[in-house]
Amino acid sequence: MNRRGFMLGAAGLGAVAAGGALARPGAHGRPYDDYFRRLNEELKKNGPMRPCLLIDLDRLDHNIDQVTASVRAPKHYRIVEKSLPAQGLIDYVARRAGTRRLMSFHQPFINDDAVAFPDADILLGKPLPARSAALFYRDLKGPFDPSRQLQWLSDTPEHLQQYLELAQGQNLRLRINIELDVGLHRGGVRDPAALEPILALIAAHPRQLEFAGFMGYDPHVVAVPKAIASREEMFRRVMAAYQACVDHTRSRYPQLWREDLTLNTAGSPTYRLHEAESLSNDISVGTALLKPTHYDLDTLAAHVPAAYIATPVLKANGPLVLPGLEQGSRILSWWDPNLRETYFIYGGYWMADYESPKGLRFNAAYGHSSNQEIVNASPGVGLQVDDQVFLRPWQSEAVLLEFGDLVAVRDGRIVDYWAPLKA
């Protein structure tokens, strides 16, 4: 129990006691719709009966097809691995989308990819410490050839100098993609002046370093309020910053320029905007394939939610009873019909919102539990012990790692299990 929340609950009781001043809440509980009713039946019969993460393959297919319809040749689609962190899931997406390009952010994941996807083309999404790169080479197994298939990301001359020393020490040739700051201001080179010393270092060490392209991530374009700058203006600035670095490289280092460089950009929020430009050739998208709530964006209106948490109801206790307020609680649930059912679910306190049945809500007076979370509702939800509560995650990269094997469903049936990546 949480003392502050409890005080709020007690204050609610006071407000009820004061009487009349508040509008009496209506009952919000509704039973499952057909989609969740079928999933509930399937999980009760064949599911793990513990918290699990469902991936709906019909919906995933729809979302993959949105991306492949947008990212057309000569552009290539690159899967953002951290946002879909299970090899079975990545493999599924790669096959349907017809891509072997991955964006990775974590050294242990790259080592695993090298074994699971020996023909992958991997671009790092952040500049890892040089020692992480050394650990990758130490642990590398199988036929994956980093000198052809892997691009390290670098953002400063100092960072690149460390990679150069690694290459010299271990007799390696490293492909280097340069992080551009196209307006997000999360690091990377902002302009040709900052780019110059990095290119100079690469050009001076052709036996150890190979220029592989640029990465310019731009989710801020859809996040900046219109009162500050229009979306069109933000996007224009992104592409102008990118173009300036491309122009500088082509004119000052023509020997480094090749038509098959990786000019990466985008991310889920902005990938559609890049249909309008022809500078980039490599588009990263991950989370949009599952569409958790933080991706309820107008640019992703054509995408559908494809990942849900499902967990069984362990206890159905009827009207809310707060510890120490046994009598007073009755007034609360008399007043508010949404407190007339109290459920305790298996697990809880996830980065997720209640999705189905409609009208479930957390009780702040009682407080959170990761073991058995309280959920209140009006009787209209119709939940019994063993029925499933469905939640929609806020994001995917951390939530998908929390439940053991992901449960793949198609047409309301469990069809596969996919082990999440090990961090």
Ligand X SMILES: Cc1ncc(COP(=O)(O)O)c(C=O)c1O
Near ligand X by CB under 6 A: residue from 63, 107, 154, 268: 268
Q: Which stretch binds ligand X (CB under 6 A): 91-99, 220-228, 278-286, 363-371?
A: 278-286
Residue 347 contacts ligand X per CB under 6 A? no
Nearest approach in angstroms of CB 152 to ligand X is 13
C-alpha to C-alpha distance for 56 and 50, rounded to whole angstroms: 18
Considering only residues 40, 66, 83, 342, which one is a binding residue for ligand X as defined by CB under 6 A?
A: 83
Q: Judged by CB, which is closer to ligand X: 36, or 271?
A: 271
Among 36, 117, 211, 217, binds ligand X (CB under 6 A): 217
Stretch that binds ligand X, among 27-35, 42-50, 231-239, 285-293 (CB under 6 A): 285-293
Using the minimum distance from each CB to ligand X, give the nearer residue, 271 or 390: 271
For ligand X, give the closer residue by CB, 57 or 103: 103
Q: Is 284 in the site for ligand X (CB under 6 A)?
A: yes
Give me the least distance between CB of 378 and ligand X, in Å please.
36
Q: Which stretch binds ligand X (CB under 6 A): 189-197, 250-258, 280-288, 351-359?
A: 280-288
Give the x-and-dash track for 11-30 against ligand X (CB under 6 A).
--------------------
Q: Is 267 in the site for ligand X (CB under 6 A)?
A: yes
Min separation Cβ 278 and ligand X, Å: 20
Q: Could you give the C-alpha distances from 413 to 38, 282, 391, 392, in angstroms and in order?
A: 8, 35, 18, 19
Q: Which of 64, 79, 80, 234 binds ligand X (CB under 6 A)?
A: 80
**By CB under 6 A, is residue 99 in contact with ligand X?**
no
Quick check: 206 and 168 in contact, CB under 8 A? no
Q: Find the binding residues for ligand X in span 288-307 (CB under 6 A).
A: 288
Q: Which is nearer to ligand X, 84 or 377 (CB)?
A: 84
Which of 80, 375 has the CB closer to ligand X? Answer: 80
Indicate the residue among 303 and 340 with the shorter CB distance to ligand X.
303
- Cα–Cα dist 284/93, whole Å: 13
Q: How far is the CB of 287 from ligand X (least distance, A)?
A: 3
Q: Say whether residue 287 binds ligand X (CB under 6 A).
A: yes
Task: For ligand X, give the closer residue by CB, 286 or 357.
Answer: 286
| Site of interaction with ligand X (CB under 6 A) | 80, 83, 103, 125, 217, 267-268, 284-288
